[in-house]
Chains A and B, each alone.
Chain A
Amino acid sequence: MALVFDVITNLFRKRATVLYPEERKEEPGTFRGVLGFERSLCIGCGLCWRVCPASAIEASRDEKGARPVFHLDRCIYCYLCVEVCPRKAIKASSRRAPAVEDKRKLEVG
């Protein structure tokens, strides 16, 4: 019963619920979100796919040489690859991973 007065004052306060998806909480810029990749900077050293703990980076090739393909559905957003890339070709962002129906949409690069 000690909570009664606290609870009654809640009637006059704005709700704490965020009505997602119409409303969204602001994301701080520091959130570890989806990865971006700049092909022009990548030199194909292979450090990123060797260091990834979740085996989320696939080693593949294109006409320029070796390059990674990021599978964001397996990614744990630890950012080891961002740290280890010698040319800073892997970009951090604070966007959250979207909900998709096709896993292939979650490939970057």
Chain B
Amino acid sequence: MIAEALRAFVYPGIAYMVALALLLEWLDRKIVARLQNRVGPYYAGPHGLLQPLADLIKLLAKEDVVPLGADRILFTLSPIAAFVVVTVAAAFVPLASTSGLVSAEGDAVAVLALITIYLLLVYAAGAASPSRYSQVGAVRAAHMLLGFEIPLMLSCLGVLASAGSFRLSELAARGSVRVFGLHAVGFAIFLIAAQAELERLPFDIPEAEQEIVSGWLVEYSSWRLALFRLARDIELLLLSGLAVTLFLGGPVGPSPPGAEPLLYPLYFIAKAALIVFLFSLVRASTARIRLDQFVTFCWRYLVPTSFAYFALAVLVA
């Protein structure tokens, strides 16, 4: 019982996931800063490693404001639900060994479904706030769903079909790298769709700071904002973890027998860091695309390519 609880809450459970998520956020900020000839986080902890944690703690110390006219139930539930949904999804992803915290038949599909639910929660969060900026941001987030959802699903399903299994732990155990040949297409599609899902530049349309302040997030403060930001970091962990499992062969690598519990987490961190590096590179070298241009781009290029990839992956497998 105690061992189960420790596994669930500490390692490789919630505490480990949160720590990894904050580490990936630090990595992202540091890489973007260096690419822009800046320093990035520097003062909090060695090399600024504790900066994301410091930001969360700072948020918790702020005043919690619920605007007049907000839907109180939704306003309170959506940050909690967002955090829960992403953490549950991340529980299926193999982070520290060839199996996630939990593993079940068909869990890859469950993860994809949970990602969609997270996006619906974003829409609900924006709709719960009375501000016009939130409404616009929420609608934009829902609009974006139309664009990237299909490519995201199809690129994952293509890999799962060619691997012949819907169970993430099986894919991780096999440890086959799928970035060459046909799967290069799937990898590229997944990376683009993942950045759209994470609302990162060039796709941070629902939160465009310059146009609608923070979009759907604008009215949230204190612990609610902290939960949303933490949920976003765990989402980064989730999607990089998915990329690692589906395309980069999982947290597997050469290791002397018996040393797996020590080395596999490190392999995961290294591979996830590679994905985050790619994301940060894109973020540091592009501008923000407009919503209608994004949807056009998705339907003209991404969706047909992903259909073709899926069909070929099924046929080849």
Contact = CB atoms under 8 A, between A and B. Distances in A.
A and B touching (C-beta < 8 Å)? yes
A15 B39 contact: yes
B36 interface: yes
A interface, how many residues as a size bin? 10 to 19
A4 B278 CA distance: 11
A10 B42 contact: no
A7 interface: yes
Q: Is the contact region of chain A dominated by helix, strand, or loop, or is it mixed?
A: loop
Contacts of B300: none
A31 to B, nearest CB: 25
A1 B285 contact: yes
B37 interface: yes
B42 A7 contact: no
B35 A10 contact: yes
Given A1-B286, A19-B42, A10 B281 contact: no
A100 interface: no
B interface, how many residues as a size bin? 10 to 19
B36 A7 contact: yes
Interface of B: 34-39, 42, 281, 284-286
Contacts of A16: 37-38
15 contacts: A1-B285, A1-B286, A3-B285, A4-B281, A7-B281, A8-B35, A8-B281, A11-B34, A13-B37, A15-B34, A15-B37, A15-B39, A17-B38, A19-B39, A19-B42
A17 B35 contact: no
A4 B42 CA distance: 24
A19 B42 CA distance: 10
Contacts of B284: 7
A16 B38 CA distance: 6
Given A7-B36, A11-B34, A19-B39, 5 more contacts: A3-B286, A7-B284, A10-B37, A15-B39, A16-B37
